[in-house]
Structure 1
């Protein structure tokens, strides 16, 4: 009855799948997100085989559509008694055709939308449940690959390249982590971010044409640590390279840049009023 309830986005493959298997073994109730119900069902079966009796529920949504992100938050808030942790793991990588610029359902550059806007919007939508469940932890899976955001071309409409878009979106995620952590100071909800491991063996790494350097298990321990380690109780607004608290890209500490990013972010993720 006292199982921790943890949401993992992008849980059908790669690091997300490995996190699900690890946390099920630790006794967590799992809320697994994906955008393909068949793949979700396969992960649930795999978790059940590895950890008989595991409590797993699935949530379907395309994080490239902010309407679906908002609806996902609504469904979780309505269905779940509490929420102890969120791991924002879902990712759009550099892509198999890195020179082809893709956009989200709302017309935003896809990497920026999936890797930054979606986790921010989902966290905001889940805040009532997270704060009611405090102490609670939010873990944003970022990357050591970070590139400064050009506020004259945030959506990379000029000189597009998929890995550049990915690196900018991950820096945006880190900057939003710092802002949200400051906003939630004292609420019992902590927000941290990390680079889990370098060139893990994931579809995204292979799709872009890179050679994996390590297995996904290398990224599980540092990610789970941010979620469960008692020594990190109250630690918030930090960026970790695996287990080490380090500095992110310098733009992440530029107050003016963070304010500009958050103003833009809030304007893009704000929900349209429901029709009367």
Structure 2
């Protein structure tokens, strides 16, 4: 992996950091894309110290702000002629309605739209590595409970269920993976995965006090981030999946069939078209 450039979103914590550490240990050139660049730089320094790999850079990226995604894309393309692996890992969970800078429901906006825009903006670097680039989307098994409600992606409805919104965003991750493969499969492989139930701070950051407290009690019994990173690392590095694309993997690196709705090509096209319109002003 020493000649590979890998960009990981949300790489300063949880699964993203564990993924970065493991790939740095293999000698890859890492770009840690983080909302808090100060934390990102601290983590980059720690990874360099622990792995001995000093080829670790940071990139300021706020997936809840399309202008930030565009700026990060421009900065990356100006500094890196190619991108071998893109790991769309960052995610957010909240149990109360919040909106992104651009007015979209936060979980849909960050978990799907931000990554959608980032991926499309980085296509020039991705397509430089024709047939070699791997795009990896960290989804979740909860996508099987997801339903896309195109009438409520800006929080139009007064009632809000955080778990339903999270499931919707993870369904979008899987649909995006399948449609990206259909549209750009000649240029890259793209796969998605369920990392397992991992003891990260996902439900501690923006969730309410009760949800956060319950999650904190459960977290010690969940899978460690190092284990949760295993499938992302596998899809980024293993030659066995070099030509595998448009598929969904579980936490044991096994192929699984996503939900029937996640395999709906018409829905995937509709989501793609909606997403294109949403981010149109920020495309490069």
Task: Tell me the TM-score normalized by structure 1.
Answer: 0.92
Could you tell me which residue of structure 1 aligns to residue 4 of structure 2? 4
Aligned-partner Cα distance in 2 for 1:181–1:107: 28
Residue 162 to residue 273, structure 1, CA distance change in 2 (3 Å): closer
Q: Secondary structure at the match of 2:141?
A: coil
* Aligned with 2:142 (options 140, 145, 151): 145
Residue 214 to residue 272, structure 1, CA distance change in 2 (3 Å): closer
Could you tell me which residue of structure 2 aligns to residue 205 of structure 1? 203
1:244-269 CA-partner distances (Å, limit 9, x unpaired): 21121221122222222111111001
Could you tell me which residue of structure 2 aligns to residue 106 of structure 1? 102
Aligned-partner Cα distance in 1 for 2:42–2:75: 22
Task: Tell me the TM-score normalized by structure 2.
Answer: 0.90
Q: Secondary structure at the match of 2:15?
A: helix
1:1-276 equivalences in 2 (<5 Å): 3-93=3-93, 95=94, 98=95, 100-134=96-130, 135-146=132-143, 147-158=146-157, 159-187=159-187, 189-198=188-197, 200-207=198-205, 208-209=211-212, 210=215, 211-212=218-219, 213-242=222-251, 243-271=253-281
Residue 23 to residue 196, structure 1, CA distance change in 2 (3 Å): same
Quick check: 2:35–2:62 contact (8 Å CA) kept in 1?
Answer: yes
* Greater fraction of residues in helix: 2
Q: Which runs of 5+ in 1 are unaligned?
A: none
Aligned-partner Cα distance in 2 for 1:249–1:155: 25
4+ runs deviating over 6 angstroms: none
Root-mean-square deviation (CA), in Å?
1.7
